């Protein structure tokens, strides 16, 4: 260690703030209001691992609800498709009957 | 006396006493970083209070005592840089009262030399000043300082060397003048 290093270490040693410092910090926190304290307690109650689990559970719930919504939408589309198919079949059947009637008339003449 | 990880958890759960113990344990470190950077006792106390207030709000994110020390050094350093940037816009001098307190605070080694050195440190550019403070007050090596200040290690090393060379040069120049 050089001489300047030693001098700097001595000159920049740690020193204490005023004797009232801790009390002043606590007073400042108190003057910040109960809101901060409540937030603080909430934050304390939820440890990091709990927050992680809660986030994972929330994400899983979100995914499940999205899947349910998507499944419902697919079912609706399928129902609509089946209805359209039935209507189409009915229309074809009607057309077929009509065609047969026309064919019979034409052949009878 | 070392601070246990349990004390941090206790404070995070809402214990005022545990939080007061944490403040008491780290007050000298936080205050001194700010004080050596700003050379103003009242500003340093203000910054230290803000840092502990921020700690109070962030306690749930602190995991261990090493993490706490790192967090405090880092937050104090960044607060000092912000303060210096702000002061550059509203240039203010050190009050006579503060200057007197600064002088009274130095008791060991040659008080005149220590005072001269601290004033020279205070005249360094912002980042060099912080690097020198963390190096010699907190006894951190360049890689630790780099983590605290979010700088590459080589940048810290070169700035530290530059700062030391400048301090030595200025110190010897002043000694020549005083002789």
- pLDDT one-digit tens code per residue, B61-83: 998 999 999 999 999 999 999 98
Does B16 reach chain A within 8 Å, measured CB to CB?
yes
Q: Which residue has the tokens 């994110």?
A: B61
Residue numbers of B between 54 and 73 with CB closer than 8 Å to A? 56-57, 59-61, 63
Q: How far apart are CA A105 and CA B50, in angstroms?
A: 100
Does B117 reach chain A within 8 Å, measured CB to CB?
yes
**Do the chains contact at A8 and B132, CB–CB below 8 Å?**
yes
Chain B residues in contact with A47 (beta carbon < 8 A)? 12, 60
Contacts 24+ apart (CB under 8 A), B101-110: B101/B41, B102/B39, B102/B41, B105/A15, B105/B41, B106/A11, B108/A10, B108/A13, B109/A7, B109/A10, B109/A11
CA B17 to chain centre: 25
Q: Give the confidence band of B178 by pLDDT, cuts at 50, 70, 90.
A: low
Q: Give the confidence band of B98 by pLDDT, cuts at 50, 70, 90.
A: very low
Taking residues B21-26, report their average pLDDT.
94
Chain B residues in contact with A43 (beta carbon < 8 A)? 12, 57, 59-60
**Do the chains contact at B60 and A17, CB–CB below 8 Å?**
no
Taking residues B23-42, report their average pLDDT.
93
Taking residues B159-169, report their average pLDDT.
92
Q: How many CA atoms lie within 13 A of B163 on its CB side?
A: 27
Question: Could you tell me if B100 and B60 are in contact, meaning their C-beta atoms sit under 8 angstroms apart?
Answer: no
Nearest CB among A4, A32, A36 relative to B167 is that of: A4
Taking residues B16-27, report their average pLDDT.
93
Residues 6+ apart with CB under 8 A from B119: B39
> Does pLDDT of A19 surpass 90?
no
**Do the chains contact at B167 and A11, CB–CB below 8 Å?**
no
Residues 6+ apart with CB under 8 A from B51: B30, B34, B72, B75, B76, B79
Chain B interface, mutation test: which of A2, A13, A26, most B Cβ atoms within 10 Å?
A: A13
Q: What pLDDT score was predicted for residue B1?
A: 61
**Shortest Cα distance, chain A CAs vs residue B127, angstroms:** 16
Q: What pLDDT score was predicted for residue A34?
A: 43
**Shortest Cα distance, chain B CAs vs residue A20, angstroms:** 10
**Do the chains contact at B136 and A12, CB–CB below 8 Å?**
yes
**Do the chains contact at B48 and A11, CB–CB below 8 Å?**
no
pTM over 0.90: no
Axis-axis angle for helices B153-178, B111-122 (nearest 10): 130
**Shortest Cα distance, chain A CAs vs residue B126, angstroms:** 16
Q: How far apart are CA B45 and CA A3, in angstroms?
A: 31
Q: How far apart are CA A2 and CA B167, in angstroms?
A: 13
**Do the chains contact at A43 and B59, CB–CB below 8 Å?**
yes
């Amino acid at each position: 260690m050089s001489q300047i290093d030693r001098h700097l270490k001595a000159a920049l040693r740690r020193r204490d703030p005023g004797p009232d410092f801790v009390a002043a910090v606590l007073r400042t926190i108190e003057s910040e209001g109960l809101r901060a304290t409540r937030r603080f307690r909430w934050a304390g109650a939820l440890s990091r691992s709990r927050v992680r689990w809660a986030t994972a559970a929330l994400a899983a719930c979100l995914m499940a609800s999205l899947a349910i919504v998507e499944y419902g939408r697919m079912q609706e589309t399928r129902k609509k498709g089946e209805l359209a198919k039935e209507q189409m079949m009915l229309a074809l059947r009607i057309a077929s009957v009509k065609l047969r009637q026309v064919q019979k008339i034409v052949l009878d003449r | 006396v070392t601070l246990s990880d349990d004390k941090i958890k206790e404070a995070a759960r809402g214990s005022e006493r545990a939080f007061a113990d944490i403040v008491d344990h780290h007050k000298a470190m936080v205050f001194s970083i700010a004080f050596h950077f700003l050379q103003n006792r009242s500003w340093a106390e203000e910054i230290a209070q803000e840092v502990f207030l921020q700690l109070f709000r962030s306690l749930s994110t602190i995991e261990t005592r090493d993490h706490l020390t790192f967090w405090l050094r880092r937050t104090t350093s960044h607060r000092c840089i912000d303060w210096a940037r702000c002061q550059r816009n509203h240039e203010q001098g050190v009050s006579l009262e503060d200057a007197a307190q600064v002088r009274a605070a130095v008791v060991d080694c040659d008080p005149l030399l220590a005072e001269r050195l601290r004033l020279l440190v205070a005249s360094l550019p912002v980042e060099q000043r912080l690097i020198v403070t963390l190096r010699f007050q907190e006894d951190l090596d360049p890689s630790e300082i780099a983590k605290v200040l979010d700088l590459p290690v080589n940048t810290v090393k070169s700035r530290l060397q530059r700062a030391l060379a400048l301090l030595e040069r200025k110190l010897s120049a002043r000694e020549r003048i005083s002789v």
